Structure 1
Amino acid sequence: MDAPDVGTFAIDPTGRDILGDAERIRRIGSVARVEMPGGVRAWAVSDQGLLKRLLVDPRVSKDAYQHWPAWINGEISSDWPLFPWVAVRNMLSAYGPDHRRLRGLVAGAFTARRIAALRPRVEAITGDLLTELADLPPDGPVDLRERYAYQLPVTVICELFGISDDATREEVSRCVDALFNIGKAPEETVAAFPRLQQILRELIAEKRQRPGDDLASALIAARDDRSSLSEDELVDTLGLFVSAGHETTVNLLGNAVVAMLTHPDQLGLVRSGRVSWEEVIEETLRNQAPVPNLPLRFAVEDIDVGDGVRLRAGEAILACYGAAGRDPLVHGGDADRFDVTRAAKEHLAFGHGVHHCLGAPLARLEAAIALPALFERFPDLTLAAEPGELLPLESFVSNGYRTLPVRLAP
């Protein structure tokens, strides 16, 4: 690996201090040169206003196959930890007409009406999980991430896509965890991508024989009936939803619980009804973006971004959502402070523009049900560790905790 250029910030792939790194990048400038794992370099954009403009700029693409010379020329090998984030063929990485085609195939499944119709099922799953928690020994610490924050979104997304086999669900979850925890064991990340694709191809073959009332069967029907979706696009689209469909929500729930337990005065405002749980959710998304850095976008042509900086055609761009949520130009000098009473909670945690996350309403619904239900069922909930002892996930693209030990009762 070459030594970083002067002015180039080397990102810690293990994410030991994600938001601290975000602040250090911001000090370099609203757009700064960074070095990612493997010595791959990009422009990191931390300024919220500039990032919003770039996210809607047609001169910015997500398609490495068209607009990243390093990828096109074979300079990026399959053992690069971020390879799966760029290699996929779905709407996350598509550009222009391809993106509109792929997004159009699935957008109807995530309308406000369809998401609202999921509420009874999300409430039922939440109730079952809370009952399981209540049945545990009251005097021992419980990993709330594993037993609650993780189980709810995984169950919901797997049911939506007809993944009913427990063993398959567990293996899908392991693969997704490896794709996000890129600083933990790069070799696991590399192996997880083809394995997840294999699992999904097997699922597709099964659904073709025995289709069900689920989104996977609907996508397969769209692929087979109209040929508007290639087989690789079908596999990677399913992969996108089963991964993004739970990782973001797991982190959102965990980060919100920690924020409430470490800010008892603000929890009191929520319990008194002076502040809503929706405000807690938005402040958590702003202050602790579940996906703080999303790789990658590419300049289609030269773009002047101000301060004498020009993004050259073909250069990579890293969208720093976590830094943008704490932008002092938007949120003032206390932008890093968690405050549910903050009047403006604008953030980019779910992206912006044509690539705004389709699953954002579902994530918000799950959090709006799971958080109040948890604190109502266990009013004496406390952390079973000091906040500084909570270990972050080993990743710079996923912002959450490896475990969340709590005590459900005194």
Structure 2
Amino acid sequence: MTSHTSHPVIDTTGRDIHGESERLRALGRAVRVELPGGVIAWWVTDHALIKQLLTDRRVSRDTYQHWPAWENGESELAQTWSLSMWVAKRNMISAYGAEHGRLRKLVAKAFTARRTQAMRPRIEASTAELLAGLAEVPAGEVVDLRERFAYPLPVQMISGLLGVPDEIRGPLLTAVHEVMDTSATPDQVMANALEVDRLLHELVAVKRTRPGDDVTTGLLQAQNDDGGQMSEEELVATIMLMFTAGHETTVNLFDQTISLLLTHPAQRAAALAGTVPWEDVIEESLRLEAPITNLPLRYAVEDIDLGDAFIPKGDPIVIAFAAGGRDPKAHGDTATEFDPTRPTRRDHLAFGHGTHHCLGAPLARLEAAVGLPALFTRFPRMRLAVPAGELRPLGSFISNGHAALPVVLTPNDEGTP
């Protein structure tokens, strides 16, 4: 699909997510933009409007029912679009109406408050193990904290929860990481999608022959109890959703919060002294640096007249979660600043809103509430190893983190390197 319009073209490499959001906000609450392949979509940056649309029955995430250009997956766009992986899966997050309710009910059993709290000892043990490994790093040596702490802790938790065996976990993580690269070519996207599907079907096959006390086994049992109403495609797509959302968002939450505290010494000192609760630090980080910045796609089920904009039936919509978190109408003139005492720190959309609010949000918060204070208490002199401006973002306009987070955990006496 090609375009000859003058709509703003979205930078899918995510080189300046927040700058792009502010430029689009200046154009209106909801503006038309151009995505890869010439796809024209509505880009929503306004906090109040995002909340409105996320609870509006006239907005759907069902690509097959409500995006005419998709042609039920048969169009050229559906076969070649570089972002197809984000809209093609049939799972809880892409379902609409009663279908969404049916799938969400099955998945919700995995994320009860009781089950989440029962994971605390496992989170504490994994945190202690990772910190012990970091403590062996020689003083003054640079270490990538995203790779050594922010990444492995959530991965271990979601892998254990889903019962992903080691021989599948590594390749699956690699394939999912490639999916997150929204600058990939269509051929790369298709190859990554096939690899993810292959690995997830392998996981399901393993769990059918070797069931365990894990969520994947539970979903298989629910599929049986449901009389087969959850299709194999829905099952595999749901496991992928849980695995991806269950670690990618939390990795970025750790990454961004660590970076913020290392560049805001007063807020770091307040958190360590207990004068500002760690929970408030976490919520403010989620507001300021939403782990998922923009999420394609939603669709207008019917015409939506917003007064200042008119979204025709069938038009695609992108919710800009990160932009909503920095909306000055919701958070004041200091919306772009890190302030854990901000009265609106909890009024963010980092985990969604309404019927699609993330079921795994309590687990992500628990992991951060355990891991972050333990990390900063263990390494009170930790600092960035490079100027903050040199930290490189991920190659994605969806996932909001750093390619690496180089730090010096224990500076040597000379203050080098």
State the alpha-carbon separation in 1 of the partners of residues 57 and 200 from structure 2. Answer: 32
What is the match of residue 407 of structure 1? 408
Q: Tell me how far 1:190 sits from its aligned partner.
A: 2.8
User: Which consecutive residues of structure 1, in runs of 5 or more, have no partner in the other structure?
Assistant: none
Q: Does 1:293 align with 2:294?
A: yes
Q: Give the conservation status (yes or no) of the 8 Å contact 2:82–2:184.
A: no
Superimposed CA distance per residue, residues 96-143 of structure 1 (whole angstroms, 9 cap, x where no aligned partner): 011000000011211212111111101111111111111223331000
Q: Tell me how far 1:255 sits from its aligned partner.
A: 0.2
What is the match of residue 352 of structure 2? 351
State the alpha-carbon separation in 1 of the partners of residues 172 and 80 from structure 2. Answer: 20
State the alpha-carbon separation in 2 of the partners of residues 115 and 335 from structure 1. Answer: 31
Q: Tell me how far 1:225 sits from its aligned partner.
A: 3.3
Identity of aligned residues (%): 53
What is the match of residue 129 of structure 1? 130
One-letter code aligned to 1:191: A
Q: Does 1:113 align with 2:114?
A: yes
One-letter code aligned to 1:397: I
Cα RMSD of the aligned pairs, angstroms, is 1.3
What is the match of residue 414 of structure 2? none
What is the match of residue 17 of structure 1? 16
Q: Give the conservation status (yes or no) of the 8 Å contact 1:80–1:190.
A: no
Q: Give the conservation status (yes or no) of the 8 Å contact 2:3–2:39.
A: no
What is the match of residue 99 of structure 2? 98
What is the match of residue 54 of structure 1? 53
Residues 48, 209 of structure 1: alpha-carbon distance in 2 compared, 3 angstrom cutoff: same
State the alpha-carbon separation in 1 of the partners of residues 21 and 37 from structure 2. Answer: 20
Q: Tell me how far 1:400 sits from its aligned partner.
A: 0.5
Q: Tell me how far 1:53 sits from its aligned partner.
A: 0.6
Superimposed CA distance per residue, residues 56-112 of structure 1 (whole angstroms, 9 cap, x where no aligned partner): 011100001000001016142333221111110101110001100000001121121
Q: Give the conservation status (yes or no) of the 8 Å contact 1:381–1:406.
A: yes
One-letter code aligned to 1:338: F
State the alpha-carbon separation in 2 of the partners of residues 284 and 4 from structure 1. Answer: 39
Residues 229, 137 of structure 1: alpha-carbon distance in 2 compared, 3 angstrom cutoff: same
Q: Tell me how far 1:332 sits from its aligned partner.
A: 1.0
The correspondence of residues 189-204 of structure 1 with structure 2, limited to 5 A, is 189-204=189-204
State the alpha-carbon separation in 2 of the partners of residues 169 and 2 from structure 1. Answer: 38
TM-score, normalised by the number of residues in structure 2: 0.95
Q: Tell me how far 1:185 sits from its aligned partner.
A: 5.4
What is the match of residue 250 of structure 2? 249
Q: Give the conservation status (yes or no) of the 8 Å contact 2:42–2:317.
A: yes
What is the match of residue 69 of structure 1? 68
What is the match of residue 304 of structure 2? 303
One-letter code aligned to 1:221: Q
Q: Give the conservation status (yes or no) of the 8 Å contact 2:393–2:403.
A: yes
Q: Which moved more, 1:269-278 or 1:12-21?
A: 269-278
What is the match of residue 238 of structure 2? 237
Q: Secondary structure at the match of 1:297?
A: strand
Residues 4, 318 of structure 1: alpha-carbon distance in 2 compared, 3 angstrom cutoff: farther
Q: Give the conservation status (yes or no) of the 8 Å contact 2:2–2:37.
A: no
Q: Secondary structure at the match of 1:306?
A: coil
Q: Which moved more, 1:262-271 or 1:175-184?
A: 175-184
One-letter code aligned to 1:131: A
One-letter code aligned to 1:178: E
The correspondence of residues 11-410 of structure 1 with structure 2, limited to 5 A, is 11-72=10-71, 74-165=75-166, 167-184=167-184, 187-226=187-226, 227-307=228-308, 309-345=309-345, 346-410=347-411
Superimposed CA distance per residue, residues 33-59 of structure 1 (whole angstroms, 9 cap, x where no aligned partner): 111122211101111111101100111
User: Which consecutive residues of structure 2, in runs of 5 or more, have no partner in the other structure?
Assistant: 412-417
Q: Secondary structure at the match of 1:28?
A: coil
One-letter code aligned to 2:59: V
Q: Tell me how far 1:344 sits from its aligned partner.
A: 1.2
Q: Tell me how far 1:287 sits from its aligned partner.
A: 0.5
Q: Tell me how far 1:333 sits from its aligned partner.
A: 1.3
Q: Secondary structure at the match of 2:344?
A: coil
TM-score, normalised by the number of residues in structure 1: 0.97
